[in-house]
Structure 1
Amino acid sequence: MAALTGIALGLGIVFLATGLGMGWLRRFALSPLERLAYGGALGLAAVSYGVALFASLHWLMGLWGLLVIVVAGGLWGWRISWRSLRGGWTHRSWLNTLGWGVSGLILLLTLILCALPPDGNEWDSLAYHLAYPKLYLKAGGMVEVPFMHQSYFPPLMDMLFLLGLWLHGESCAKVFHWAVALLTALGIAGFSPSRGGMMALLWLGTPVVAWQAHTAYVDLSTALYTGLGAFALYRGVREQSTAWLWLAGVMVGCALATKYTALLSWGLLGLIGLAWSLRARWGQGARTLLLAGLLALMIGAPWYLRNWLWTDNPVYPFAYEIFGGRQWSQAQAEAYRHDQLRFGMGREPYALLLSPWNLTALPAPFADPIGAPIGERVYLLPTAGMGYLATLGVYVAGGVGGGLGWLLIFALGNLVGWFFLMQQIRYLIPVFPVLTGVGGVALERAGRLVQYTYGGVLILQGGFTLWLLSATYLTDLPLALQDRDAYLTRRVQIYPAIQYLNQHAPPNAGVILLDETRGYYLERPYLWGNAGHHRLIPYETMHQPEALIRWMREHGYRYVLINRRFTPQGEPEAWRRLYEQAIAEGLLVPCFLERGVEVYTLSQDG
């Protein structure tokens, strides 16, 4: 039961990190829910930066020292914070109790599912969120991975994944993302305590949130820090408390360390906070906000400075027209943008107005095709569900006065940015906590009929999410716990080919992956081969397949893996023809063919 041990270790680190963060916030006047949420968020961020420090120094043995500090600091924090956690959790009502009950079931199920090794649907986990931390571990510390442009993204969560992999594998790593889902629920409930259980259920019962809670993705961490930052800004300006504004700056700074898209939230929250403060004639607040915004930039800055040193571009590979970037080109930037535009239902103004309805009723264009086939229909997991569409009615019924409108302006600004940048549902997750928190306050003001009807919608959605997760994953859990390889063979299309290479390829023989990026399970050196990923392979100088073979030999690449399931139809590009010609001429010899995956090795005579 190694996976269950990993879950237990991950939970232990989360518990101690939360105590550490609560200790640092001991002088803040926080409710118990807020203390846990902000303390956990701050503690996990501190652990992540500690891991990054030792990884950058190439001294992974120092992680043992970090754990000692976390244990001591965590126990200290829990000891001094224990009294402040007594009483005042949420208002008691049967709706709240029911909401917490269903939320607890979702949390329990997703925690159990953390025991599953990442399957083929967890594409980003296998392609980079777990893959490059594993490469760091093999290299003994943080190294540049130029063939994987996602390895340059801000890695607050990925550093926690590195710690989990180092300590006890994927299950331990996944628990950290599960934990941020829990902490976000606590933060939402702390913002709207009278309806905290129902609003926690809106968050956790959203299918895409529940699905991500058991994966090694990072979107929920951006939601945690963005949501807590927005809530702190609201409290700060409304109560005219500079302490809350500083806390908002810290949270938004941590958000900047999770994803580039948090830059939009940083700008929007800054502008909204300044406008609100000036309208309230609170000059000190406006000045503090400017300083808190600088603090946020300082917290996120190390990752952007690292990218500048490595690639000349702080937001690599984006903004190529402004900064340029090594191993990248204008053609690749345009291809990347084209790939982003394939999601959604157009960029016309009417599509923006219809987006709440389309996200609910027509989710397929906004989501990856992951779900449970029932009969002839596939029920998708990465969707927004129906809860947020229903929440619009709650805003109308309960009103959004008292400063809540400023938070909705922030959410609307993010929606517009999402609409024009990339209409992928998971990129909208960071505004869900804000929409949920505002909905909780508005729900308190709404009539009983609205509250009961809305509660019924959320319970129905939560039950549907529980069923969908169970139908998709739970039936294979016993197999995963008993026979990891058998589970992965069933759930990962390329796994038999990966096993073949792990068993038959010499330890130092490199593998080029074509039309495939999920290299996490591969125990050999590998390189993404498609021309759109980087410029390490000089395809533009290769006019004959012999030039490609010569380059492979010189750089230690002996195998080529091609996933034909994702090979585009039609006339192949020039770089792709090099491989096809090498195969046709016998320069690359087939050694494994199964499930649409082909593995070739260099000919001895080539």
Structure 2
Amino acid sequence: MGRGLGQFVMLPWNITMIGSEFYDKGAVVLFGLVGPAFLGFLGILAFQRSLTKPVVKSLLVAAIFTVCWFFLMQSSRYLLSVIPLLCIAAGSSASYAITEWRIARYFAVLLLILCVVIGAFTGTIAEYDCGRVVLGLESADEYLSRTLSIYAAEKSINENTPPNARIVLYDEVRGFYLDREYIWGNPGHHEIIPYNQLKNGDDLIDWLMNHGYTHAMINWRIAGGSTEGHRRLLYEAIESGRMAHLDTIHNVGIYEFRKSQS
């Protein structure tokens, strides 16, 4: 959405009304929305005669975090730690409206009721499948195989690689179900892999193997056909045989690093 002054001033409105712009493209937008309650209740703060210390402190911490978020990574899921802080201020505003404003109290109560009802409804939708596992109608393995596209690939790695295998994840960060040590491979997550010093695919695999990494898992659904940056090195390594293809499951490729034949 941009990082200018205008975008920052409009942030409360934008993240509420066009929240899908702050979430992963192509994802289920419902779970990336902040919701209108904060926009409604936090605006009441401007009309309160005084604010309690907990409210002031929570707003200060939330503001500092939000400024950092605005300039670093504008993804709504990274604002989760701010939501509880804003709840303190929003709760104070709701209490003020209910006790001090005779007419507005009905709207405040209605908004609170709507928040509870809509939250319960969307939560039920989100957790319906999980409930089948809790009730014993479906095993956790069956559920994960059906709902998590990378699960089968990670399960294959667990079953077909040695216990000391070390995995590099490309275009994927969800390594929770890997029973192997792993690292995120994409530049931007860290500076451990010196991509600026690696000229070709051989350099990449040599560096990874010298540092104990043995396999790679690539989510091609996200990586797509891009051949720029680090992906050029991956393609070169695959074409030269330095990354031997072991399997592809649900568009998630599994590769093993091989020593150079030259």
TM-score scaled to structure 2, two decimals?
0.80
Q: Would the alpha carbon gap of residues 410 and 485 (structure 1) be closer, same or farther in structure 2, given more than 3 Å must change?
A: closer
Map 1:455-474 → 2, pairs under 5 A: 455-474=109-128
Aligned residues between the structures? 253
Map 1:39-118 → 2, pairs under 5 A: none
Q: Would the alpha carbon gap of residues 469 and 368 (structure 1) be closer, same or farther in structure 2, given more than 3 Å must change?
A: farther
> One-letter code of the match for 1:390?
G
- Equivalent pair of 1:511/1:557 in contact (CA under 8 Å): yes
* Structure 1 position 528 matched with structure 2 position 176: no
Map 1:532-543 → 2, pairs under 5 A: 532-543=188-199
- Equivalent pair of 1:352/1:416 in contact (CA under 8 Å): no
Partner secondary structure for residue 154 of structure 2: helix
Out of 390, 399, 403, the residue aligned to residue 40 of structure 2 is 390
Map 1:555-566 → 2, pairs under 5 A: 555-566=211-222
Distance 2:65 2:212 in 1: 43
Distance 1:348 1:539 in 2: 30
1:417: Cα distance to partner? 5.8
Distance 1:496 1:439 in 2: 48
1:562: Cα distance to partner? 0.7
1:395: Cα distance to partner? 4.5
1:369: Cα distance to partner? 6.2
Q: Would the alpha carbon gap of residues 453 and 557 (structure 1) be closer, same or farther in structure 2, given more than 3 Å must change?
A: same
Residue 102 of structure 2 corresponds to 448
Residue 360 of structure 1 corresponds to 16
- Equivalent pair of 1:560/1:601 in contact (CA under 8 Å): yes
Map 1:113-192 → 2, pairs under 5 A: none
* Structure 1 position 517 matched with structure 2 position 168: no
1:445: Cα distance to partner? 3.5
Distance 1:541 1:392 in 2: 49
Distance 1:567 1:410 in 2: 39
Residue 131 of structure 2 corresponds to 477
Residue 498 of structure 1 corresponds to 154
Distance 1:402 1:531 in 2: 47
1:593: Cα distance to partner? 0.8
- Equivalent pair of 1:370/1:380 in contact (CA under 8 Å): no
* Structure 1 position 593 matched with structure 2 position 254: no
Distance 1:521 1:441 in 2: 44
- Equivalent pair of 1:394/1:450 in contact (CA under 8 Å): no
Unaligned runs of 5+ in 2: none
1:428: Cα distance to partner? 3.5
Residue 65 of structure 1 corresponds to none
> One-letter code of the match for 2:34?
A
CA deviation vs aligned residue, 1:97-130 (integer Å, no higher than 9, x gap): xxxxxxxxxxxxxxxxxxxxxxxxxxxxxxxxxx
Q: Would the alpha carbon gap of residues 405 and 366 (structure 1) be closer, same or farther in structure 2, given more than 3 Å must change?
A: farther
1:544: Cα distance to partner? 4.1
Q: Would the alpha carbon gap of residues 565 and 405 (structure 1) be closer, same or farther in structure 2, given more than 3 Å must change?
A: same
Distance 2:115 2:26 in 1: 18
Distance 2:2 2:205 in 1: 43
Q: Would the alpha carbon gap of residues 394 and 477 (structure 1) be closer, same or farther in structure 2, given more than 3 Å must change?
A: same
Distance 1:594 1:447 in 2: 59
Distance 2:22 2:198 in 1: 38
- Equivalent pair of 2:244/2:257 in contact (CA under 8 Å): yes
* Structure 1 position 602 matched with structure 2 position 257: yes
CA deviation vs aligned residue, 1:215-265 (integer Å, no higher than 9, x gap): xxxxxxxxxxxxxxxxxxxxxxxxxxxxxxxxxxxxxxxxxxxxxxxxxxx
Residue 326 of structure 1 corresponds to none
Residue 433 of structure 1 corresponds to 87
CA deviation vs aligned residue, 1:410-450 (integer Å, no higher than 9, x gap): 72784476246424442542531332242144124333331
> One-letter code of the match for 2:133?
L
Q: Would the alpha carbon gap of residues 417 and 478 (structure 1) be closer, same or farther in structure 2, given more than 3 Å must change?
A: closer
Residue 236 of structure 2 corresponds to 581
Distance 1:369 1:545 in 2: 30
Q: Which has the higher relative contact order, 1 or 2, with Cα contacts under 8 A spaced 6 or more apart?
A: 1
1:534: Cα distance to partner? 3.2
1:522: Cα distance to partner? 0.8
Q: Would the alpha carbon gap of residues 586 and 369 (structure 1) be closer, same or farther in structure 2, given more than 3 Å must change?
A: closer
Q: Give RMSD over aligned pairs.
A: 3.2
Partner secondary structure for residue 214 of structure 2: strand
Q: Would the alpha carbon gap of residues 430 and 546 (structure 1) be closer, same or farther in structure 2, given more than 3 Å must change?
A: same
- Equivalent pair of 2:42/2:90 in contact (CA under 8 Å): no
Map 1:195-594 → 2, pairs under 5 A: 345-368=1-24, 380-392=30-42, 394-395=44-45, 399-404=47-52, 407=55, 411=59, 414-415=62-63, 418-419=66-67, 421-422=69-70, 423-425=74-76, 426=79, 428-479=82-133, 481=136, 482-567=138-223, 570-573=226-229, 575-594=230-249
1:455: Cα distance to partner? 0.9
Distance 2:132 2:37 in 1: 32
Unaligned runs of 5+ in 1: 1-344, 372-377
